[in-house]
């Protein structure tokens, strides 16, 4: 019986290679924070500052009729408790290049390698911005060896932060301790924990509003688990699955303290330059899985651009090929401080 000799046929005998004309990315592209946060007025300086104000503690003591007022003891300037917070502009940049020969040859996928490079740089720039928005970074002024850094939500929502809230007056506008839950310490987050966090945000802000919860995958699962049978309590969920569909996904949570819309994310709590997994098959870090931020729906937080996202094509000055860069200069301004914000870490 004759044997097939196709296994012995190589390119030397004219065997063609087969390469599909498709290209699929396998990395995270979604940037919910960058997409959901409103755009504030254009920034015009490297440090964008904003004012926050408070009210006196309620007093309902009786006033003696006809009592003479003492100067200046019975009078005070109501603006003395105001605090001046600041957000520093950070520059983000991605560069790309294609050699003359690489641009000239025929390749699988998009035929314009330089255009593909530019498109990928824009995606990577948005991911950089998203990661900075959801990071624990504190703001810092630039130097000869380092650029300016803006503060991430991990710092703005930290009840113990002393960098963005650098003195006692500013620290009065930090998030409440009850507005942050440490998922890494407890390992799980119950519905009671979540409701307590929402209550803490309400007590800090006094407004039962709606929120977007930008949440890592473990946090999303923790909230979904709240709908299931818990042997330690009397709460139980029963579903009619006559249509054969069991629904355990929670995308909206309505509480006494406001409505919460849950938006999954994988780019929160990242450390700059650190990949999801250090080895093949690695996954997100615990910080990324556990992290979550409660964003109020009143446009309290906005992104302000000193320079909008732009793509710049550079001249081929030395024959090395087409080059370019994508760049943006921006900051994030939580204009009421941390009081209306909640966080899970």
pLDDT for the residue 118 = 94
pLDDT for the residue 126 = 95
Q: Are 97 and 323 in contact, with CB atoms under 8 Å apart?
A: yes
* Alpha helices per DSSP H over the chain: 32-36, 100-104, 113-133, 153-156, 168-171, 183-186, 191-205, 217-225, 286-290
Q: Rounded distance, CA 253 to CA 236, Å?
A: 16
- Domain at 28-53+79-235+248-272+283-344: CATH architecture: Alpha-Beta Complex (3.90)
pTM (2 decimals)?
A: 0.87
Residues of the chain under the 70 pLDDT cut: 1-7, 26, 227-250, 275-282
Burial of 191 (0-12, 13-18, 19+ CB in 10 A): middle
Domain map of the chain by residue range? Answer: 28-53+79-235+248-272+283-344
pLDDT for the residue 2 = 60
pLDDT for the residue 329 = 98
């Amino acid at each position: 019986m004759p044997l097939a000799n196709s296994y012995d046929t190589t390119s030397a005998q004219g065997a063609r290679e087969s390469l599909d004309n498709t290209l699929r990315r396998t990395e995270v592209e979604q940037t919910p924070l960058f997409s959901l946060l409103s755009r504030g007025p254009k920034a015009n300086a490297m440090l964008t500052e904003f004012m926050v104000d408070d009210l006196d503690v309620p007093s309902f003591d009786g006033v003696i009729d006809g009592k003479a007022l003492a100067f200046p003891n019975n009078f005070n300037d109501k603006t003395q408790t105001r605090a001046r917070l600041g957000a520093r502009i950070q520059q983000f940049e991605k560069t790309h290049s294609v050699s003359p020969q690489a641009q000239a040859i025929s390749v699988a996928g998009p035929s314009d390698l330089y255009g593909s490079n530019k498109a990928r740089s824009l995606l990577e720039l948005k991911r950089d911005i998203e990661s900075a928005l959801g990071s624990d970074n504190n703001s810092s002024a630039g130097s000869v060896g380092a650029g300016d850094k803006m503060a991430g939500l991990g710092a703005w929502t930290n009840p113990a932060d002393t960098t963005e809230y650098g003195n006692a007056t500013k620290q009065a506008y930090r998030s409440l301790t009850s507005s942050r839950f440490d998922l890494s310490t407890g390992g799980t987050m119950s519905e009671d924990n979540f409701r307590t966090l929402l209550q803490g945000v309400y007590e800090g802000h006094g407004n039962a509003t709606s929120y977007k919860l930008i949440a890592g995958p473990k946090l999303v699962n923790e909230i979904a688990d709240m709908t299931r049978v818990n042997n330690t309590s009397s709460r139980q969920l029963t579903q009619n699955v006559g249509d054969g569909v069991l629904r355990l996904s929670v995308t909206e949570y309505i509480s006494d303290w406001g409505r919460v819309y849950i938006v999954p994310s994988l780019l929160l709590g990242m450390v700059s330059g650190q990949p999801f997994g250090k080895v093949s098959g690695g996954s997100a870090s615990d910080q990324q899985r556990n992290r979550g931020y409660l964003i109020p729906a009143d446009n309290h937080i906005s992104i302000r651009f000193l320079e909008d996202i732009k793509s710049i094509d550079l001249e081929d000055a030395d024959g090395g090929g087409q080059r370019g860069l994508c760049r943006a200069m921006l900051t994030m301004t939580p204009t009421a401080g941390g009081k209306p914000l909640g966080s899970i870490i």
